[in-house]
Amino acid sequence: MKDLENGKMSGHSNWPEWVYVGVVIALLCYVGAEAWNIERIVEHVPADAEVIQVIGQQWLWTFEHEDGTKEIGELHVEKGKAYKFEITSKDVIHSFNIHDYVVLLDAVPGKINTVWFSPTDAGEFPIQCREYCGLIHYNMRATLIVEDKGA
């Protein structure tokens, strides 16, 4: 070919390819760093968070507060306070989900998984198992009841 001189194409440039590669690598680095940072922020539990033990079993949720109060199928919490869930299971793997507060974590037998949240709105919110756990999985539900302070 006429353009081929000394093994190189005259007038040929690779820079668009390097820009392309650079942009994609930079964006992927941003994705990794950003996701890592948010995970780090979200996982740090405030010092004054109240611990609530969450136990999943076919097919209901049981909650135990720090003062020993137990609830089945309902969880009462206070608006604006931080709560740390210690989630486990008695039988098979379940998944504890409060959709409205973006809380989602597996309940695994013999293991305690932790996640924390702080409710910002009073009201009732559904809690649902998100890991297929048997015949009545679809109805393994509970209700999160967020109350105003002093209510």
Partner 1 sequence: MKAIIGLGLVLGLLVILPAAQYVLAAGDEAGEYLDRRVEIWGLFYRLMIVAFTIGTVVSGTIVWLVLRFRESNPKAKPTEYEGSGEW
Interacting residue ranges for partner 1, rule: CB under 8 A: 1, 4, 20, 23-24, 27-28, 30-31, 34-36, 38-47, 82, 100-103, 116-118, 120
Distance between CA atoms of residues 58 and 131, nearest Å: 11
CB of 7 to partner 1, least distance (A): 12
The smaller minimum CB distance to partner 1, of residues 26 and 136, is found at 26
CB of 124 to partner 1, least distance (A): 17
Distance between CA atoms of residues 54 and 88, nearest Å: 6
Cβ burial of 38 (10 Å; 0-12, 13-18, 19+) is: exposed
Q: How many CB atoms lie within 10 A of CB 140?
A: 23
CB of 11 to partner 1, least distance (A): 12
The smaller minimum CB distance to partner 1, of residues 75 and 133, is found at 75
